[in-house]
Structure 1
């Protein structure tokens, strides 16, 4: 009976997966930004245009934010009136609803990196 010995160096695989997960986190955040922009209250478009993604791909982190003095109030105050299709919780609701899609975006990036 012959024997084989396998020595597995997981570091390159782990590095590739982590890099891909970071890229996936950025892409998932960009997806979330797109969905939330469709719901953000709009008067002149300033709030919508202020939406950005900030990513730290090396650490697998990404953040979606809106940067106007009234962004938090528009997000949190459920008593404000908005145009049809525009709403408070314009970031929180899409975040909750798009969890599966965002996870799939990240997973696809990792799969792609590990295939190659």
Structure 2
């Protein structure tokens, strides 16, 4: 299941090439953080699923994904038995639980630039 986070932009004066670069940097950091949290809950047998997790960034477009044939099944199947602390919905839960942290991480580079 794809999830999106939207952020409204109110600071046109920041929309310079440097501002866009810093916003992209913050967005990628937020995604890396969320991947780390998700990896703590990925169903674990051999670690292949966890190792397949990655962040892909193209400017302000960032994706978090797991690249195994069974990643979606493991994510969606609520009736599978997992080791303690490992769950289905590992990425979805991380996106939901880390929303505020992600927003703060996204703002850090821009805030630092403004404070100069």
TM tier, smaller: 0.7 to 0.9
Paired residues, number: 103
Q: Deviations over 1:16-57 (max 9, x none)?
A: 222111000100000001000000000000000000000112
| Pairwise CA RMSD | 1.0
Q: Which runs of 4+ in 1 moved over 2 A?
A: 113-116
User: Unaligned 5+ residue runs, structure 2?
Assistant: 1-12
1:14 to 2:11 alignment? no
Query: Equivalents in 2 of 1:35, 1:94: separation in Å?
Result: 6
Structure 2 counterpart of 1:33, from 15, 32, 35: 35
Q: Does 1:49 align with 2:67?
A: no
Which consecutive residues of structure 1, in runs of 5 or more, have no partner in the other structure? 1-9
TM-score relative to the length of structure 1:
0.85
Q: What TM-score do you get using the length of structure 2 for normalisation? A: 0.85
* Deviating more after overlay: 90-99 vs 13-22: 13-22
